[in-house]
Amino acid sequence: MSTTPNSQAAHASNTDANSNLDAARSCKVSASAQGAPASPAGKRPAPPCTLVIFGAGGDLTKRLLMPALYNLAVDGLLDDGMQIVGVNHGERETNEWVEDLHQSLQKFAADKASTFHAGKIDDNAWEWVAQRLEYMAGDFETPDTFARLTDKLAQAPGGNVIFYLAVGSRFFKPIVGHLGESGLLKEGAGFRRLVIEKPFGNDLASARDLNAHILSYALESQVYRIDHFLGKDTVQSILAVRFANALFEPVWRREYIDSVQITAAETIGVEGRGKFYEQTGAFRDMVPNHLFQLLGMVAMEPPNSFDAEAVRDKKAEIFDAILPLTPDDVVFGQYEQGPAGVAYREEPDVAPDSSTETYAAARVFIENWRWAGVPFYLRTGKRLAARRTEISVQLKPVPFRLFRDTPVGALTPNVLTLRIDPAHGTSFDFNVKTPGPVMQVGPVQSSFDYGDFFAERANVGYETLLYDCMLGDETLFQRADSIEAGWCAVDGVLHPKTGGALAVHGYAAGSAGPAEADALLAREGRAWRPLTTAAVEKK
């Protein structure tokens, strides 16, 4: 999360690496002087650096990294000395790779359903990016690749290099090992940073092992564990809603809040990723990372500043305070034949007797002074009734005594909903008197939509993360301790001591999920927020 220049300068004084970053900034060449778009007022281009993308031919590079780099170029936030080296298996010419990326970018820009829906590509901005692209064929597991990469990076602008691992998790350890052994992670005049995608381990033991391996070659300050959920403006806005408004923070605690629901629902199935999903499942894929990150933003104590370590310390405190989940706290589901399509077991590369969950719901408690006794309900799934990512904070009911002699059967709970995707905004449910001579109370909703106040921008969620990595701002990236705390909280579900693996309950494709997930809340007198409402479907 990019900060103001003053807070960036304060943060830069914390580490030698960021001192080098300031030096690089002071001698940078203006991108606008070379014909690139000028940077927005109040923002400066990132320092000159070389971005090395391992997995240059993969889907992540095409769908997310390249659109994000293009958007940063359009906004004038990349230095003219920027270079991008794509490393991938298989021989090909640079111009062939560049043309492949260009065609993908044009296709995504024209697709209104795509995350990147810019409409028409700005030819000048694309040409600026294209001139800085270079392809290098290489095996991720052989020393020769890294010897050639060492020669190529000898003249890296400012000595600054970012290594982005856009590869399958099985390549994380060999790539990091070869980078370390070849000396490419050693910082000198410039910075060396390592960006690692999820899945960061598949349980507590594997996460600890991966962290230990990485930190044997690099400093924690060099490692940027990325979670693309945190790149969304609507996720970062959670902190603004909480801490920039006197209306909310005084009641943001157990004395006033009944429960919190965090939902990440998808209408799509596994979309040809059956092999990956069979090894992962919805719970590992979403709960200890994406959904816990949203939980951390909602539940963290106010930091003293937006300095990266101040924010990450407060989030780490929350993850440490999560009570370990048990099998009684979790429900697994798998979609079956339904209105939205075929059963999961009929998808390509899925075992006909698969017990992999495509839906997971969990009840989470945070054992601290602010949240003790307040349940956080998390749910995520594929082939559900609606695409919807949101956080709903339900306040405790008011005493009903005042209304006992009026024709009011019940009062609608006050609920603040932070809408993250696909609609962007907030809504608040509350009660008012309906028109007429009788005291009759009726529910109403007040809402705010980003599109009504701010111009829509093509944004895939990686722009802020890439830009912050170049600046050395680690606010939106995960530390080793937080990663391990997240896995620790769910390890009792992944490796139950008794009873064996959790049962996986069926639900119809296109429904709201298994009935057992409803029962998880019903036993405490609560219910999930409906997935399909007019407010959500507005966008």
CATH, residue 152: 3.40.50.720
pLDDT at 520 over 50: yes
pLDDT number for residue 449 = 93
Residues 6+ apart with CB under 8 A from 139: 89, 145
Residue after which a domain boundary falls, among 149, 181, 197: 197
Instruction: Mark which of 155, 179, 197 sits at the end of a domain.
Output: 197
In-domain check, residue 63: yes
**24: in domain:** yes
User: What is the predicted pLDDT for the residue at 116?
Assistant: 76
Q: Give the whole-angstrom CA distance, residue 369 versus residue 178.
A: 46
pLDDT, residue 30, reads 33
> For position 272, what pLDDT does the model report?
87
Per the CB < 8 A criterion, the answer to whether 484 and 211 are in contact is yes
CA distance 260 to 417: 10
pLDDT digits (tens, 9 = 90+) for 23-61: 333 333 333 334 455 555 457 889 999 999 999 999 999
Number of structural domains found in the chain: 2
Confidence tier at 156 by pLDDT (50, 70, 90): confident
**Confidence band of 14 (pLDDT split at 50, 70, 90):** very low
Predicted pLDDT at 456: 73
Residues 29 and 80 in one domain: yes
Q: Are residues 177 and 243 in the same domain?
A: no
Whether 264 and 121 share a structural domain: no
Tell me, yes or no, whether 368 and 485 share the same domain. Answer: yes
Does 62 reside within a domain?
yes
Q: Is residue 433 part of a domain?
A: no
The answer to whether residue 486 sits within a structural domain is yes
| CA pair distance 76, 125, nearest whole angstrom | 9
Mean of pLDDT over the chain: 88
- Residue-level pLDDT at 386: 96
Tokens of 122: 């700005």
Band of pLDDT at residue 148, cut at 50, 70 and 90: very high
Q: Can you give 5-46 as a three-state secondary structure string? A: HHHHHHHHCCCHHHHHHHHHHHCCCCCHHHCCCCCCCCCCCC
* Whether residue 136 sits in one domain with residue 25: yes
- Distance between CA atoms of residues 283 and 495, nearest Å: 13
What does the block give as tokens for 139?
A: 């095996």
Mean pLDDT of all residues in 76-99: 95
The C-alpha atoms of residue 67 and residue 61 are separated, in whole angstroms, by 9
Q: Characterize 407-416 residue by residue with b for buried, 16 or more Cβ atoms within 10 angstroms of its Cβ, and e for exposed.
A: ebeeeebbbb
User: Are 179 and 238 members of one domain?
Assistant: no
Burial class from Cβ neighbours inside 10 Å (0-12, 13-18, 19+) for residue 89 reads middle
Beta 50-54 vs 83-88: how paired, if at all?
Answer: parallel
Mean pLDDT for the stretch of residues 268-282? 92
Active site includes 117?
Answer: no
pTM of the complete model beyond 0.75: yes
Which of 123-137, 231-245, 327-341, 343-357 is least confident?
231-245
Calculate mean pLDDT across residues 185-213.
95
Tokens of 453: 């106040």
Which pLDDT does position 40 carry in this prediction? 55
> Which alpha helices (DSSP H) does 495-533 contain, by range?
515-522
Mean per-residue pLDDT for 192-220? 96
Residues 275 and 155 in one domain: no
Distances (CA, A) of 476 to 15, 60, 411, 440, 448: 17, 19, 39, 47, 25
Nearest Cα to Cα of residue 136 among 75, 181, 91: 91
pLDDT tens digits, 286-295: 999 999 999 9
How large is the average pLDDT for residues 182-210? 94
**How confident is the model at residue 409, as a pLDDT?**
64
- Which residue type, as a one-letter code, is found at position 338? G
**Each residue's pLDDT tens digit, 322-368:** 999 999 999 999 999 999 999 999 999 999 999 999 999 999 999 99
Residue 120 lies in a domain: yes
If you search the block for the tokens 């049962």, which residue do you land on? Answer: 503
* 436 φ/ψ sector (left φ>0, alpha ψ -120 to 50, else beta): left
Q: How confident is the model at residue 408 (pLDDT cuts 50, 70, 90)?
A: low
Longest dimension (CA), the chain: 84
pLDDT tens by residue, 439-480: 888 889 999 998 899 877 778 889 999 999 999 999 999 999
pLDDT at 209 over 70: yes
Query: Within 13 A of 420's CA, how many CA atoms are on the CB side?
Result: 26
Say whether pLDDT at 77 is over 70: yes
Nearest Cα neighbor of 517 from 295, 394, 363 is 363
DSSP helix/strand/coil, 445: strand
Domain hosting 249: range is 231-400+477-537
Tokens read off for 197: 């995608």
Residues 6+ apart with CB under 8 A from 340: 267, 383, 508, 509, 510
Does residue 9 register a pLDDT over 50?
Answer: no
| CATH number, domain with residue 518 | 3.30.360.10
Q: Which of 290, 424, 495, 505 is catalytic?
A: 290
Within a domain: 415: no
Percent of the chain with pLDDT strictly greater than 90: 74
Give the mean model confidence (pLDDT) for residues 65-92.
95
Give backbone dihedrals phi and psi of 387, rounded to 5 degrees, phi first. Answer: -85, 125
User: Stretch 120-125: mean pLDDT, rounded?
Assistant: 90
Instruction: Report DSSP letters for 400-429, one per residue.
Output: SGGGTTSS---PPPPEEEEEEESS-EEEEE
Residue 6: is its pLDDT beyond 80? no
Give the residue from 176, 197, 218 where a domain finishes: 197
Q: For residues 88 and 139, give the distance between their C-alpha atoms in angstroms, rounded to a whole number.
A: 7
- Distance (Å, whole) CA 403 – CA 440: 9
Provide the residue type at 325 as one letter. Answer: L
Same domain, 235 and 180: no
If 0-12 CB within 10 Å is exposed, 13-18 middle and 19+ buried, where does residue 92 land?
Answer: middle
Has residue 3 got a pLDDT over 50?
A: no
CA atoms 397, 417, 454, 469: torsion sign:
positive
Cβ of 349: how many Cβ atoms within 10 Å? Answer: 12
Q: How confident is the model at residue 407 (pLDDT cuts 50, 70, 90)?
A: low
pLDDT for res 24: 36
Among left, alpha and beta (phi > 0; psi -120 to 50; other), residue 272 is: left
| Terminal alpha carbon distance of the chain | 26
Residue 536 scores a pLDDT above 60? no
Q: Is the dihedral of CA 445, 450, 452, 453 positive or negative?
A: positive
Distance CA 54, CA 86 (A): 6
Same domain, 10 and 149: yes
How many residues are listed for the chain in this entry? 539
Whether 126 and 260 map to the same domain: the answer is no
CA dihedral 490, 491, 494, 497 (to 10 degrees): -120
Q: Which residue has the tokens 């000159």?
A: 48
Segment 189-217 shows an average pLDDT of 95
Same domain, 165 and 288: no
What angle do the packed helices 66-74 and 123-130 form, to 10 degrees? 120
Report whether 314 contacts 300 (CB < 8 A): yes
Q: Is residue 466 part of a domain?
A: no
The pLDDT of residue 157 is: 83
- The region of weakest confidence among 85-89, 159-163, 270-274, 474-478 is 270-274
Average pLDDT over residues 194-215: 95
Residues 182, 249, single domain; the answer is no
